[in-house]
């Protein structure tokens, strides 16, 4: 009768998993470990890390990638999303946020492409205020509403009034960014990988 000896079977099963693990994660892990952070890459500041945690909390990664492909494979560069990304760009990323969906545009260089803080704040408060037709959800809980008053009044208290267009904010109210919103925008603005890549020589 044909039957596989059980222990041969179990060894085989363990071996296949081990092979895949070694080839796909262990060996590349060792190869990539040798990669140093690129000279132009700055570690995240405290505030940017707080913003990054909000990026993770709100699940931005499910619609936005942070990886750009080389010319000849997609048109990322012609869209102005920046040079192809390399392992040295991600050394400070933990967890990684490469993303695999582009329901919205790539954000690898959003800080360079859209450096306006106001734009980001308005966009987070209601994406359709800056980008008509967008299907991005709004994040009103990153903002506070306050009685309408001249901007100076709030600026004196150290508050940041967001210039949301009138038809997108509650009547007679102004929108004030919370610290969380400012942190998130600080993180987005830090996504600037326009520095050059020195060719890695062997």
Partner 1 sequence: MSDKKTDSRWRFRPEEEKHDIYSLHRQALREPPEPQEGLEPPPWWLWVISVLLIFWAGFYLGRYGGVFGPYVHVLEEGRRTERETALVPKEPETTVSGAEVYARVCAACHQPNGQGVPGVFPPLAGSEWVLKDPETPILIVLHGLQGPIEVKGTVYNNVMPEWGSKLSNEEIAAVLTYVRNSWGNQTAEITPDMVEKVRKETQERKTHWTQEELLKLKK
Partner 2 sequence: MKSDHSIPGTEEAPELSYRILSDTSSSAPVIVFFTSAVVWLLVGTVFGLIASFKFNFPDWLGNIPALTFGRVRPAHLNSVIYGWASLGIAGLYVWLTARLCQTEVHWRRLLYISAILWNAGVLYGVVSILGGHSQGIEWLEFPKGAQTLIAMASVLLSLSILRTFYGRRVKHIYVSLWYILASVIWFPILYVIANLPFYSGVTQAAVNWWYAHNILTVWVTPAGLAAAYYFIPKVIGRPIHSYYLSLLGFWSFALFYNWNGIHHLIGGPLPTWLISVSIVASVLMFIPVITVAINHHLTMVGHFGKLRYSPTLRFVVFGAMCYTAVSFQGSIQALRSFNEITHFTHYTVGHAHLGLYAFFTMSIFGAIYYIMPRLTKWEWPYPVLIKFHFWLVALGITLYVISMTVGGFIQGLYMNDPSRPFMDSVQVTKPYLMARSIAGVVILIGHLFFIYLFYLMIKRKGVKRLTPPWYEKAEEYAR
Within 55-74, the residues that bind partner 1 by CB under 8 A are: 69-73
Task: Identify the H or E element spanning 31.
Answer: helix 27-33
Q: Which of residues 8-37 bind partner 1 (CB under 8 A)?
A: 28, 31-32, 34-35
Q: Is 87 in the site for partner 1 (CB under 8 A)?
A: yes
Q: Which does 170 bind (CB under 5 to 8 A by kind): partner 1, partner 2, none?
A: none
Contact (CB, 8 A) for 147 and 173:
yes
Distance, in Å, from the CA atom of 120 to the CA atom of 97, rounded to the nearest integer, reads 19
Q: Which does 97 bind (CB under 5 to 8 A by kind): partner 1, partner 2, none?
A: partner 2
Cα end-to-end distance, the chain, whole Å: 56
Q: Which of residues 9-28 bind partner 2 (CB under 8 A)?
A: 9-10, 12-14, 16-17, 19-21, 23-25, 28
Q: Which does 129 bind (CB under 5 to 8 A by kind): partner 2, partner 1, none?
A: partner 1
Contact (CB, 8 A) for 39 and 198:
yes
Cβ at position 3, least distance to partner 2 in Å: 5
Contact range with partner 1 by CB under 8 A, out of 95-103, 107-115, 142-150, 174-182: 107-115
Which residue is it, tokens 């490469």? 98
Neighbours of 55 (CB within 10 A): 21
Strands 173-177, 160-162: pairing is antiparallel
- 138 or 163, CB closer to partner 2? 138
């Amino acid at each position: 009768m044909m039957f596989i000896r059980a222990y041969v079977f179990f060894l085989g099963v363990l071996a296949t998993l081990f092979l895949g693990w070694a080839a796909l994660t262990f060996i590349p892990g060792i190869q990539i470990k040798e990669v140093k952070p690129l000279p132009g890459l700055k570690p995240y500041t405290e505030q940017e890390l707080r913003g990054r945690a909000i990026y993770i909390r709100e699940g931005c990664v499910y619609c936005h990638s942070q990886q750009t492909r080389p010319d000849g494979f997609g048109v990322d560069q012609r869209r102005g999303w920046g040079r192809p990304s390399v392992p040295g760009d991600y050394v400070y990323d933990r967890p990684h946020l490469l993303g695999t969906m582009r329901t919205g545009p790539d954000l690898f260089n959003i800080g360079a492409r859209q450096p306006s803080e106001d734009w980001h704040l308005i966009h987070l408060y209601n994406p359709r205020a800056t980008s008509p037709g967008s299907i991005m959800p709004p994040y009103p809980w990153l903002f506070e509403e306050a009685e309408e008053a001249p901007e100076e009044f709030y600026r004196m208290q150290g508050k940041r009034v967001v210039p949301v267009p009138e038809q997108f904010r509650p009547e007679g109210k102004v929108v004030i960014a919370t610290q969380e919103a400012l942190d998130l925008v600080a993180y987005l603005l830090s996504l600037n990988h326009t520095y050059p890549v020195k060719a890695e020589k062997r």
